[in-house]
Homo-oligomer: A and B are copies of this chain.
Amino acid sequence: MSNEKTAITPSTHTAPPAKFSHGVRKGNILQVAGQVGFLPAEEGKAPTPVGPTLREQTLQTLANVKAVLEEGGSSWEDAVMVRVYLTDTGHFAEFNEIYNEYFADLKAVPAARTTVYVGLPAGLLVEIDALAVLG
């Protein structure tokens, strides 16, 4: 496996707001940058959250992480860690419900996960990043 460092940029993603990559692969490590619930990019349109609810944002965020994994030649099956940033401890139970539905058909063992409660830019309720080990 080559150790060349490559950027991963799904076509669904807007350009990052700073000099970072949505995903990076080097050797057998694939790191997905923190994703939020932005809709797929539209030319000339600023990044737009899918909607105000935890359900909408969680599903879109997971879709955005998945897009990076897949663009990098990987999938949820390779993910070893998922970091979840919520903004409200009151969202934990509902988040878990959505998370479980989303991963209901996952064939591999599920990734490890850490969930903590932080501040996020106004309107965003969830941010998720992931680490995958390929091969």
- List chain A positions with a Cβ less than 8 A from chain B: 3, 5-7, 16-29, 31-34, 77-78, 80-83, 85, 89, 92, 95-96, 99-100, 103-104, 106, 108-122, 127, 129, 131, 133-135
Residue of B nearest to A85 (CB): B116
Residues of B within 8 A of A18 (CB): 95-96, 99-100, 113
CB pair A112–B77 under 8 Å, yes or no, is no
Residues of B within 8 A of A7 (CB): 109-110
CB pair B119–A3 under 8 Å, yes or no, is no
* Cα of A48 to Cα of B21 in the assembled complex, Å: 32
Contacts A82-B20, A115-B34 given; does A133 touch B89 at CB 8 Å? no
CB pair B133–A29 under 8 Å, yes or no, is yes
Residue of B nearest to A9 (CB): B109
CB pair B21–A112 under 8 Å, yes or no, is yes
* Cα of A129 to Cα of B111 in the assembled complex, Å: 13
* Cα of A3 to Cα of B134 in the assembled complex, Å: 8
